[in-house]
Amino acid sequence: MATAPTRKGERRDPLVVRDLEFIGGMASAGGWRPEPTLPEIAFAGRSNVGKSSLINRLLSRKKIARVSNTPGRTREINFFKVNDAFVVVDLPGYGYARISKEKRAEWRPLIESYLAERSSLAGVLLLIDIRRGPQDEELDFVPWLEARKTPIVVALTKADKLAKNKRMLEIGKAKKALGLRRDPFPVSAQTGDGLDALWRAVLALVDKR
Ligand code: GDP
Ligand 1 closest atom vs CA 55: 7
Q: How far apart are CA 59 and CA 45, in angstroms?
A: 18
The alpha carbon torsion through 202, 41, 128, 31 (nearest 10 deg) reads 180
In the chain, the domains with their CATH numbers are: 20-208 (3.40.50.300)
Ligand 1 closest atom vs CA 69: 4
State pTM to two decimals.
Answer: 0.90
> Phi/psi at 100 (nearest 5 deg)?
-65, 165
Q: How far apart are CA 28 and CA 43, in angstroms?
A: 18
Pocket of ligand 1 (CB under 6 A): 45, 47-53, 93, 157-158, 160-161, 188-190
For residue 188, the CA-to-ligand 1 centroid distance in Å is: 9
> Phi/psi at 55 (nearest 5 deg)?
-60, -45
Q: Of all protein residues, whose CA lies closest to atom 2 belonging to ligand 1?
A: 48
Q: How far apart are CA 154 and CA 186, in angstroms?
A: 9
The alpha carbon torsion through 31, 52, 151, 176 (nearest 10 deg) reads -130
pLDDT of residue 65: 59
pLDDT in tens, 128-179: 999 999 999 999 999 999 999 999 999 999 999 999 999 999 999 999 999 9
pLDDT in tens, 57-108: 998 765 665 666 666 677 889 999 999 999 999 998 887 655 566 555 667 8
